[in-house]
Structure 1
Amino acid sequence: MTFPYKTRIESIGAHLPSREVGTDEILSGCQRALNVPLQRLTGIVTRRRAGESEFAIDLAEHAVRDCMARSGVAPGDIGMLIATNISRWDAANKVYFEPPTACRLKRRLGLGSQTVAIDVSNACAGMWTGVYIADALIRTGEIGHAIVVSGEYITHLVDTAQKEIVDFLDSQLASLTLGDAGVAVMLSRGKQDGPGFVDLELYTLSKFSRFCVAKPTDKGHGGASMITDSIKVTEAVIPHAAKHARHVLARNQWDKDNIQHIVPHQTSTLTMKAGLREMRGLLNYDYSDRLINNLAHRGNTASNAHFLALHDAIQDGRINDNESVVFCISGSGQTTGTALYQIDDLASRMKSRQSNPRFEDYDDSQVFPTQLAIESIGLVTHPGDDEPDSILLIAKAAEECLQSSAYDRKEVDLFIAACTYRSEFLMEPAIAALAAGELKMNDDREPECEQSTFAFDLLNGEVGFLKAVYLATEMTRSERATRVMVAASEVENNIRRNPDQLMGIRPVASAVTLRESTSESGFVTFGFRDFVDFAHLREVHAGWHEGGHRIYLTIDDQIELMSVMQDCLVEASGEFLARHGLGVDDFDWVLTSQYSWQWISQYGDRMSISPSKLIDLGSDDQGNPSSSSFALALSEGIATGTFKAGQLVLVAQVCPGVQTAFATYRV
């Protein structure tokens, strides 16, 4: 299918911390002497470091402000804000889980309710995952503009590595290459036959998903650590990435004359040169003079490294108007991909700090409706009273789902995990990638193979499931997916760590497969609205205590949290129903957030919904199933015969942020 629009980069914004630290200083800070020529091997002379007055969310905010100042897009026209950073270390000794980064950024930036807030987690491929999502929605005309942002404060990993590295073969050596930065990109709708993204493909080689893992250290001094098997990562990634680049170039009939620049992931000069050698062998041409190497004074800035390199190369004149760029994409998990981009006058606009919006007027006659229905459901409950393993719990739910599905696991081409609270406070890679590895879901394949799986996480709390299904719908509509699995699970991180502060989460995991509906069944409509003025009413963050020996969640709830969330949900419900010409009498069942029966019945009273229509999943006795609520309700409703074919269900959920999410589902 030819889509009506192409995605183009409207502007790029960046922000760097003021503190600059040399590689020699990094090495001298190690507690054990390292005899390794790190600067020569990596090409990194200095990098920027945050962590004093600026943290991850501050870097992101400044980058978005710079990006918006360089664009011609009004804040009210931004349809989606996607936060993609790995690090959510947003204050001293505070790693934030709620509210989501995108909601807090919306509040800081003054973005309106029309902007859907999404938090994506996919390691160093996070920003590209955000671009991939936004590109799908822009191409089909669902939105006109999106901001994808990553604020990475990751040099705290350097501090841990300096304490723990033993020798030059240590698995934390890669942590010494990291740098901090904030980068934001404004994506806009452009003409199908104009400049912009010519091709963009991502997929996950989950066989290699455990080669780079970031989570809290098990040492008594506390902090987070990144454990990387650099040799295995290089062996797995470079040959495959080069083959995939060749495949995508051939598919678009690009030869050496079409390629002005190549931007790989900015890990080390040694690795990038190895990638070029691989490409030279496959393409019979040496592209060394077209390589964009941005490492010298930036280091590896993780999820935003490609776009920081693009930003810097435009600013210093290495990349200019009307040139083409090949992006070679990789990230732990193991995400691999290639993007081909044709630049318009972006370089001139960025240098002049002026831009005029030139997107096509929205024409909904060119929008192709797509409706997804749930094809199969898997549910697993953790039997113990300890902290469950998120990866295994989701993998078991997915396995159960596949057992009753008409799909083979190799047919699943999109796997999204809605999973904010995860075991061990895992930071990377994505839970979805690790679970896909357990399931052997296209975990290793040749670049030319038609079957592949792309995996990533959403961190949007209870409403994450509905946001995941919404994205799955749009990515199916844009032909980015045909067979989708959405999994969800939240764990009670404090069950052993700090049992005096619990969230009341039920230890359940769910997985559903989605099919394109050929009848009236399935998800009919979606709606999202954030009330970010109330984002401060709940703050949940992890931190180290007792000198670093213990890490647990601190849950800071204001007394009015639940009543305000109820007010927001009622207000947004009225707007959603009015927008779609619906009333509560049109629904056979209503599923709202399962905080308690009192909460459910109060919502019913305020919305004038008959108690007989309200779904109660037993949260008073068993805990809140949170992001698995809809899968659980549908499974139980079908199993008991309560849900009948053709009945209409209203799903109305709310969680801190304050985020509200709605869907109508025809059984």
Structure 2
Amino acid sequence: MSFSHLHGFKVAGVSTCVPPNRVDNLEAGKDFGAVEVRKVVSMAGVRHRHVVTPDVTAVDLCTDAARRLLNTLGWAPESVTGLIMVTQSPDYFLPSSSCVVHARLGLGDQCAAFDVGLGCSGYPYGLYLAATMLRGGGHQRILVLHGETPSLFIDPQDQATSLLFGDAGSATALEHTGDAQDEAWFSLFTDGSGADSLIIKGGAFRDPRPADPRDLRLRMDGASVFNFTIKRVPALINDTLAYAGLQVADIDSYIFHQSNRFIMKHLIKKCELPEDRVPFILEDMGNCGGPSVPLTLTRSLAQRGDQPMRLMLLGYGVGLSWGATIMTLHPDTPLLHHTYQAPGAPSPRSPL
């Protein structure tokens, strides 16, 4: 069954990280023509994006986010017994990115570390895996890292993707509590028949050296992705609410994967969601893939009130894959956001 109800754990903290290089789409897209670029920016909702330099990867962003989160929580590295790295932007085919991060964070050898190769839906999937590990016993603290650098695999000549995607890394700490009131609901789905809708055809073992160099870049069938989204996401929201025995008004904030403003506005209207409960960060962050979900958390809810908040977290896209999580965010849960700083680089407040 695609629905699960798990309890006895909580999200202890979330940390997100973006590269310092901020791109203005109106300037970056000038070769496409000023009028056309303004149309794309208006529809997609992306004015600025943060993109990495070629020497920075998703592993770097996630490691930085995780290190800051561990320091804030006061968690000793050896107390973490699980590390899940969700990414489709790995440093290497092998070893796994989780092993690279494991070493950088100085985690102990009693820590289970593995990668999950999911994109836009990866955050609810990662939370589900961590929750099942905590629920199964033997684990007290788990890190879920989710990072992507789509700017490195888009075609600069494709205005549909080059003006849309930004880069980000995240770290989410989950902790066993044993309290039945710390609960979450999960719904996870897949339709692999739509795999070609978002794909990089070349570069891996199926076609390591493609004849067409464009096959080393992301190809997106925008119409298919739009149709998939408006078909699957409303049902995802309604069915997850029904499974949890909740109504639309019972959710304090709907944290969407920041896919595209036009698509998100369509979903809000179709699902009759209160607009003030659906935060947008697209304008200054772009579509960062799956990490856009934790990024929306830290960017929109850091200055929240002193009461628990019930959230619905929504991921959907490449795969095709989609999923949702309903969970409670406690008022004392730290939500951190910062700009990536390369190891050894001077602090922004330090003299150059």
Give the TM-score taking structure 1 as reference length: 0.46
Shift of residue 257 of structure 1? 3.5
**Contact 2:58–2:147 (8 Å) recurs in 1:** yes
| 2:184 equivalent to 1:198 | yes
- Which runs of no fewer than 5 residues in structure 2 stay unpaired? 204-209, 337-352
1:59 corresponds, among 58, 61, 65, to 61
2: CA distance, partners of 1:259 / 1:109: 35
1:536-580 Cα shifts (integer Å, max 9, x gaps): xxxxxxxxxxxxxxxxxxxxxxxxxxxxxxxxxxxxxxxxxxxxx
Displacement after TM superposition at 1:3 (Å): 9.0
Q: How far apart are 1:318 and its partner, in Å? A: 5.3
State the alpha-carbon separation in 2 of the partners of residues 260 and 234 from structure 1.
26
**What does 1:284-299 correspond to in 2, within 5 Å?**
286-299=273-286
Kindly state the Cα deviation for residue 33 of structure 1 after the two structures are TM-superposed.
Answer: 8.1
Number of equivalenced pairs: 326
> Which residue of structure 2 lines up, in the alignment, with residue 413 of structure 1?
none
- Residue 250, structure 1, aligned to residue 221, structure 2: no
Q: CA deviation at 1:19?
A: 0.7
Task: Find the aligned partners of 2:312 and 2:185 in 1 and give their Cα distance.
Answer: 10
> Residue in 2 aligned with 1:272?
264
* Runs (5+) with no aligned partner, structure 1: 91-95, 281-285, 352-667
Answer yes or no: is the 8 Å Cα contact 1:156–1:223 preserved in 2: no
Encode CA deviations 1:120-148: one digit per residue, 9 max, x unaligned.
10122233322221111112223111111
In the alignment, is the contact (CA less than 8 A) between 1:4 and 1:191 conserved in 2? no
2:134 corresponds to which residue?
Answer: 138
- Residue of structure 1 in register with 2:220 after alignment: 228
Task: Please name the residue that 1:371 is paired with.
Answer: none
1:64 deviates by 1.0
**Residue 109 (structure 2) aligned to one of 102, 113, 122:** 113
Structure 1 contact 86–122 (Cα < 8 Å) conserved: yes
State the distance in 2 between where 1:250 and 1:138 align: 25
Question: 2:308 touches 2:330 (CA, 8 Å); kept in 1?
Answer: yes
Distance 1:249 1:207 in 2: 26
| Structure 1 residue runs of 4 or more that deviate by more than 3 Å after TM superposition | 2-5, 215-224, 318-321
Task: Tell me which residue corresponds to 1:178.
Answer: 165
1:253-309 deviations in whole A, cap 9, x for unaligned? 2124311111111111111111112212xxxxx421211111111111112110111
Deviation at 1:182, TM superposition (A): 1.1
Tell me which residue corresponds to 1:372: none
Q: Which residue number in structure 2 is paired with residue 35 of structure 1?
A: 36
CA distance in 1, matches of 2:7, 2:304: 28
For residues 519-538 of structure 1, the aligned pairs below 5 Å read none
Whether the 8 Å contact between 1:12 and 1:186 is mirrored in structure 2 is: yes
Pair 1:309 & 2:296 matched = yes
Q: Percent identity?
A: 23
Secondary structure class of the residue paired with 1:35: helix
Tell me the residue number matched to 2:143. Answer: 147
Quick check: 1:124–1:331 contact (8 Å CA) kept in 2?
A: yes
Could you tell me the TM-score, scaled by structure 2's length? 0.85
What value does the CA root-mean-square deviation take over the aligned residues? 2.5
Corresponding position of 2:339: none
Deviations 1:49-83 (A, max 9, x none): 11244222211210111221222432112111111
What SS class does the counterpart of residue 303 from structure 1 fall into? coil
Whichever residue aligns with residue 36 of structure 2, its letter is N
Deviation, 1:180, is 0.9
Higher Cα Rg, which structure: 1
Please state whether the residue corresponding to 2:64 is helix, strand or coil.
helix
Spell out, residue by residue over 1:323-382, the C-alpha distance to the aligned partner (whole angstroms, 9 max, x if none).
Answer: 1111222131111222111111244x447xxxxxxxxxxxxxxxxxxxxxxxxxxxxxxx
Cα offset for 1:251? 2.1
Q: Does 1:239 find its partner at 2:238?
A: no
Asked if residue 125 in structure 1 is aligned to residue 91 in structure 2, the reply is no
Rounded to whole Å, the distance in 2 between the matches of 1:293 and 1:219 is 40
